């Protein structure tokens, strides 16, 4: 007897919901100073009453905001990867591979360069996010226009367009650096270096607000995305407002990627690896794929960040290196077996 996919999907969602707090707890306990699970739990409860001792300072000021930011960014990347692959009707459409992240990063740099000394605090973060959002949005629109046709999305065109946009963004970044004053140059490189280690509660709050918006909006288009996988005209004949769906998803994904680039820099491959694994486990039904990808993305980035902080402690690796180490072999194996996914 084959267990129905719906039951499997619900089971996976429950498992992921249990794993997420566990991974967060792990992120609190492990680091260059190892605290142990028990001490972390104690410190966490103390934190609510009166902060003071070493463990609660480490956890309250450093590890907790960082773990939360990792979870939020991971969730946004996971769910936007899944939604993006839905509208591209192609399991290889990852924001970082098709140039959306590069576009967002360029947008952010331009914003820092042009806004100059205004880039401080939450307002500055907002400005950088707007720049990243506009850059990411332009990139999605260009790639979509180039690669999408009635027959589906051409993998080759999509990846080539991503290469072109990434190269263009790199070149424009260099030009920007060439003509920037020392002060602005310092700000740009500071921002670019700042991965998750710049986490504070201000950032976490901002990220949480955007994340809630993304996680609550995208699943409303789950059935529309399912129909869209059949093709655009088929979806239209099934009563889906295709243009509205595509516009909303592109905007929400650009917001999600823009925010995560502004907050945590370029973190590649989460949007590729996570939806793919979830699809292997429970199938491509977006009603379950979207929430499961958000949860699994959060768990993966929290765990990747634990590795990044501990593997050569006390020095830290940028978390993007860890996700790339997981993602690249995965991506290559996907390319190798692309005929299994009916891709040209």
Per-residue HEC secondary structure of the chain comes to CCCCHHHHHHHHHHHHHHHHHHHHHHHHHCCCCCCCHHHHHHHHHHHHHCCCCHHHHHHHHHHHHHHHHHHHHHHHHHHHHHHHHHHHCCCCCCCCCCCHHHHHHHHHHHHHHHHHHHCCHHHHHHHHHHHHHHHHHHHHHHHHHHHEECCEECHHHHHHHHHHHHHHHHHHHHHHHHCCCHHHHHHHHHHHHCCHHHCCHHHHHHHHHHHHHHHHHHHHHHHHHHHHCCCHHHHHHCCCCHHHHHHHHHHHHHHHHHHHHHHHCCCCCHHHHHHHHHHHHHCCCHHHHHHHHHHHHHHHHHHHHHHHHHCCCCCCCCHHHHHHHHHHHHHHHHHHCHHHHCCC
Q: Does 8 bind another protein (CB under 8 A)?
A: no
Q: Decide: is 223 part of the binding site for another protein (CB under 8 A).
A: yes
The 122-161 contact track toward another protein, x by CB under 8 A, reads: -----------------------------xx---------
Does 336 engage in binding with another protein (CB under 8 A)?
A: no
Q: Which of 70, 87, 102, 227 binds another protein (CB under 8 A)?
A: 227
Residues 33-52 contacting another protein, CB under 8 A: none
Window of 53-61, 74-82, 83-91, 203-211 that interacts with another protein by CB under 8 A:
83-91
340 touches another protein by CB under 8 A: yes
Q: Taking CB under 8 A as the rule, does residue 236 contact another protein?
A: yes
Question: Residue 81 interacts with another protein (CB under 8 A)?
Answer: no
Which residue in the set 190, 230, 311, 332 belongs to the binding site for another protein (CB under 8 A)? 230
Stretch in the footprint of another protein (CB under 8 A) among 107-115, 163-171, 220-228, 294-302: 220-228
Choice between 179 and 341, CB closer to another protein:
341
Stretch that binds another protein, among 120-128, 135-143, 206-214, 225-233 (CB under 8 A): 225-233
Based on the shown chain and the rule CB under 8 A, indicate whether residue 239 belongs to the binding site for another protein. Answer: yes
Number of shown-chain residues binding another protein (CB under 8 A)? 29
Contact positions vs another protein (CB under 8 A):
2, 5, 89-91, 151-152, 223, 226-227, 229-231, 233-234, 236-241, 279, 283-285, 340-343
């Amino acid at each position: 007897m084959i267990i129905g996919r719906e039951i499997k999907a619900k089971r996976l969602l429950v498992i992921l919901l249990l794993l997420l707090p566990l991974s967060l707890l792990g992120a609190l306990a492990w680091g260059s100073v190892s605290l142990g699970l028990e001490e972390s739990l104690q410190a966490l409860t103390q934190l609510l009453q009166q902060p003071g001792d070493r463990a609660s300072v480490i956890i309250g000021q450093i590890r907790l905001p960082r773990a939360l930011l990792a979870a939020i960014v991971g969730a946004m990347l996971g769910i936007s990867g899944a939604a993006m692959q839905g509208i591209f009707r192609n399991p290889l459409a990852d924001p970082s591979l098709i140039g959306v992240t590069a576009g967002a990063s360029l947008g952010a740099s331009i914003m820092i360069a042009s806004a100059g000394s205004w880039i401080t605090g939450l307002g500055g973060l907002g400005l950088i996010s707007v720049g990243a959002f506009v850059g990411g949005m332009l990139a999605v629109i260009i790639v979509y226009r180039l690669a999408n046709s009635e027959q589906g999305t051409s993998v080759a065109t999509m990846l080539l367009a991503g290469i072109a946009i990434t190269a263009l963004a790199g070149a424009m970044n260099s030009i920007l650096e060439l003509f920037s004053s020392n002060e602005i140059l310092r700000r740009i490189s500071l921002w670019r270096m700042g991965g998750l280690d710049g986490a504070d509660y201000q950032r976490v709050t901002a990220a949480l607000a955007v994340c809630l918006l993304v996680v609550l909006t995208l699943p409303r288009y789950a059935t529309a995305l399912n129909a869209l996988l059949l093709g655009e005209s088929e979806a239209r004949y099934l009563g889906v407002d295709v243009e509205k769906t595509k516009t909303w998803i592109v905007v929400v994904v650009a917001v999600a990627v823009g925010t995560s680039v502004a907050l945590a820099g370029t973190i590649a491959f989460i949007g590729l690896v996570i939806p793919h694994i979830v699809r292997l486990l429970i199938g491509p039904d977006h009603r379950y794929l979207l929430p499961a990808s958000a949860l699994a993305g959060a768990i993966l980035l929290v765990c990747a960040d634990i590795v990044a902080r501990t593997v050569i402690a006390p020095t830290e690796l940028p978390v993007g290196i860890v996700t790339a180490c997981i993602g690249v072999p995965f991506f290559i194996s996907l390319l190798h077996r692309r005929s299994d996914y009916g891709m040209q």
